[in-house]
Amino acid sequence: MATPLSALSKLISSGIVTIESTYAKHGADFPSIDEPFRPGPLDGDEALSETVDIVIAAAAQLIALIKPAPRTMIESACLFHVPATLLVVENAHVAETLREAGPQGLHIKDIGERCGVDPQKVGRILRYLATNHIFSEIAPDVFANNRISSVLDTGKSVAVIKADPIAKHDNTSGLPALVSHCTDEMMKAVVHLADNVLDPNITSSQEITQSVFSRAFNQGPPFEFFEKPGNEFRLRRFGAGMHGMSMAFSTGALLTGFDWKSLPQDALVVDVGGGVGSSSLQLLKHYPQLRFVIQEKPKVVEDGKKFWEHADPEALKSGRVELKVHDFFEPQPIKDAAVFFLRFITHDWPDKYAKQILKHLRASALPSTKLIFNDFLVPYAGPTKGQFSDISGSEMPRAPYPLMPNLGTVSNQSVMADMQMMVSFNALERTIGQFISLVEGTGWRLKSIGRSSGSSVCLMVFETVAI
């Protein structure tokens, strides 16, 4: 058997050959890191995404294997400088400023003058980020955007942003807003993680009011924090960021992870806590035989009606889509649902609260009703040894030797989201085992898991069992 070093090297080299040949077949070059990011025609290619993930996993594991352990530990301990510096350049509109300057870039004196920051300090910040492949130093003290830093660009002019700062992230991709949210209040909260976890009085707490976020800001969960006077910008930024996050996830599992066509004509899907109904809209486009009820808080219902009047007014007029006010901690009023659908709902709630939601749904379910989660599924970092083989779709594709079963850093999306939930709500993104524990005693049983390549967001299908 090949050594781990040579096996990892082979995975990287063979993967690169596949990537470059695939681009060549489509008459395209692999994107340069020196050019702005643009969605490409191969972004949705599932086979290519699998190859890319293998290369990423192998390259990261090779670095972890080769780099001396003390050096890795010290550098890891100082990684907080990445979000800290990203917050500076995002708040100072550096990506927009460099985009307006063009590919020749700007000297730090000009950057400092246009962005209102000390030129030496912004230069050091940009050099740190450029050393980590975010921005490029194209000449001494001259910086330009690259493919990665361009993702921070809202696409708006600096003049427009300064004229209405609170609206900076409105009508944008949402990715700069998400970065700003994560590097602002979330980073300020996470420094209290050790205090919370090591506090014997609350280490096992499932109360949202005893979360890391609540400790950091001395108040309730993020949703309450954003509604406080003075946080208007943060609230709008958060909304834009959540839009950006949802747009970044593949919809493959949503559309194919369950056999929606098997549902009869006019079968009712209840989108519990469904926001304005963006997921229901995607399902309706592909499965027009279904009916939908979207349940939300009063203000969101009003926003949802505006959303549907623009996106598909006929769906509202015909009654194929209805928006109704409902609190999912109250008894579920709908008794004839074919599916109760929850997208990114249970991850906001510790088990004791999430179980209440599921019990209300079970009390209103028919024997044939399905409960479907569209959510992160956190993969184990080690082997499961067929422990969940009775659940269809539970086994991930076998990772080639010597990669970790979850492909290591390829799974960062889900494990980072799990940390976000711990910090924000005392809640969690869940593994298969944790989903099984969650529904235990609620009258539901995990039946199958639908996946799509390149995403940790899955479709988990539950069926009713006797209570």
The residues annotated as belonging to the active site are: 347
**Mode of pairing for the β-strands spanning 370-376 and 268-272:** unpaired
Tally of CB atoms within 10 A around 181: 27
User: Cα-flanking dihedrals φ and ψ of residue 447, to 5°?
Assistant: -105, -45
Helix then strand count (H, E) for the chain reads 21, 10
Neighbouring residues of 412: CB distance < 8 A, sequence distance ≥ 6: none
Residue-by-residue DSSP string for 48-100: HHHHHHHHHHHHHHHHHHHS-HHHHHHHHHTTTHHHHHHHHHHHTTHHHHHHH
Both tokens of residue 160?
């427009």
Strand runs (DSSP E) across 266-328, as ranges? Answer: 268-272, 291-296, 321-325
State CA 22 to chain mean position distance.
27
Helix (H) or strand (E) holding 194: helix 193-197
Give CA–CA dist 393/462, Å, rounded: 13
Give CA–CA dist 419/54, Å, rounded: 24
Q: Which residue has the tokens 């300020």?
A: 188
| C-alpha dihedral (270, 376, 248, 251), degrees to nearest 10 | -50
Both tokens of residue 35?
């050019």
Let me know: does 454 contact 251? Beta carbons within 8 Å.
no
Buried b (16+ CB within 10 A) or exposed e, 269-287: bbbbbbbbbbbbbebbeee
Q: Which residue has the tokens 């779709």?
A: 393
The runs of H, that is alpha helices, within 370-453 are 412-425, 432-439
Let me know if 39 is exposed, middle or buried by CB neighbors in 10 A (0-12, 13-18, 19+).
exposed
User: Cα-flanking dihedrals φ and ψ of residue 34, to 5°?
Assistant: -90, 0
Strand runs (DSSP E) across 344-441, as ranges? Answer: 370-376
